[in-house]
Amino acid sequence: MTAAVTVDVAGGQVGGAARFRAELSRYLIRTERKDVRIIGMARQVDPAWLVRREVARPIRGRRISLNNVSFVVSGSERWTLLRNPLDFLTSREESGLEPSVRAATRRRAPIVRTAARRAHVLVVPSTAMAERVTQVLPSLRERVVVRPHPVSADSIPRMRRDPVILCPVLFSPYKGMTERLTELVAAMDEMVDPSVKLLVTAGRAQVPAALANNPRVELVGELDHRDLRQLWACSRAIYFPPGIESFGYPLAEARVSGQPVIARDTAQNREIAGPALCGFTPGQPESLLHATALALTTEIVPDPMPFDPDAYFGWLLGSPP
């Protein structure tokens, strides 16, 4: 059978992008779809790859880019998943970036935005990301569709939950994780039982000595989802404090698995985490104290329906012939 759908998965080796790829792979194995062609599996997103994918064997079906850069050549229906908020920052947000991150963003963002104008459909994972895109590219408003990323209902196994708060964040310079972790440890020291531990997906080189040597903190290093899910299953609550995100997979994972998630009290986090959110305001210790106490005592009912992979990929890839 000739593939009716081509999906470019280049990039996406870590973080939410890798998590999305895992869900796509599970869906294709489960459904045994033969009409979907995956390209870019072991490639980085660079100029050479972007040219190569455009001149590859042409098809008249749907071409989908999962890496923010739309296909541009005519002859097919072009869909693009936009999920990097750094390509659509406000001036204030951009000015707060470290110089190296700001420089990289300024090189990449114009390419992403120019290519987006060639897409027929721009898929974003949250209302907040849709607002980012349309503020920068208002003429494309009618092409933007909000669809939360897929998360399998069995993503996190059901196990006994220990007195542990898990922070499953991929450290990046713009996320301010040192400050956010320091705030949480201070809150835990003030009101949380000393037996409650904080597991952080980072190594000693990524955090200051004061955190690395804190008896409450255990650094488990960067883990893929397969290894992380066992720690996740045994944790009482999740800590996800970043501010610049297009989705936030830990928010959705917490909602699906029925675990409280301590995160910023924003419209985006309420949309993704739903009733699992224990919201706080950064810089307000009392707010974080309350959110932490709530997360350690609240029972959450698992809610996988908003992130159903079959519904998501059936829509994104279209119905099989």
* HEC per residue, 98-125: CHHHHHHHHHHHHHHHHHHCCCCEEEEC
Check: pTM over 0.75? Answer yes or no.
yes
- Other beta carbons within 10 Å of 115: 18
Question: Are 124 and 13 contained in the same domain?
Answer: yes
Question: Are 77 and 188 contained in the same domain?
Answer: no
Question: Are 120 and 13 contained in the same domain?
Answer: yes
Question: Are 208 and 229 contained in the same domain?
Answer: yes
pLDDT value of residue 250: 95
Phi, psi of 120 (to 5 degrees): -85, -35
pLDDT value of residue 2: 55
Question: Are 130 and 177 contained in the same domain?
Answer: no
Residue entry with tokens 């209302």? 127
pLDDT value of residue 176: 83
Question: Are 184 and 281 contained in the same domain?
Answer: yes
Residue 204, domain CATH: 3.40.50.2000
pLDDT value of residue 59: 64
Give the domain extent around 264.
Answer: 162-303
How many independent structural domains does the chain possess?
2
Which string of DSSP letters, residue by residue, matches 259-285?
A: --EEEE--HHHHHHHGGGEEEE-TT-H
Question: Are 137 and 34 contained in the same domain?
Answer: yes
Burial class (CB in 10 A: 0-12, 13-18, 19+), 249: buried
pLDDT value of residue 275: 97
Q: What is the pLDDT along the chain (321 residues), one digit of tens a residue?
A: 456 899 999 997 788 899 999 999 999 999 999 999 999 998 999 999 999 998 876 567 899 999 999 999 988 899 999 999 999 999 999 988 889 999 999 999 999 999 999 999 999 999 999 999 999 999 999 999 999 999 999 988 888 899 999 999 878 777 888 899 999 998 888 776 888 999 999 999 888 999 999 999 999 998 887 888 889 999 999 999 999 999 999 999 999 999 999 999 999 999 999 999 999 999 899 999 999 999 999 999 999 999 999 999 999 999 887
Positive or negative, the CA dihedral 24, 109, 222, 298 is negative
Question: Are 238 and 253 contained in the same domain?
Answer: yes
- What distance in Å separates the CA atoms of residue 287 and residue 22, rounded to the nearest whole number? 35
Of 8, 78, 20, 73, the residue nearest 44 (C-alpha)? 8
pLDDT value of residue 149: 98
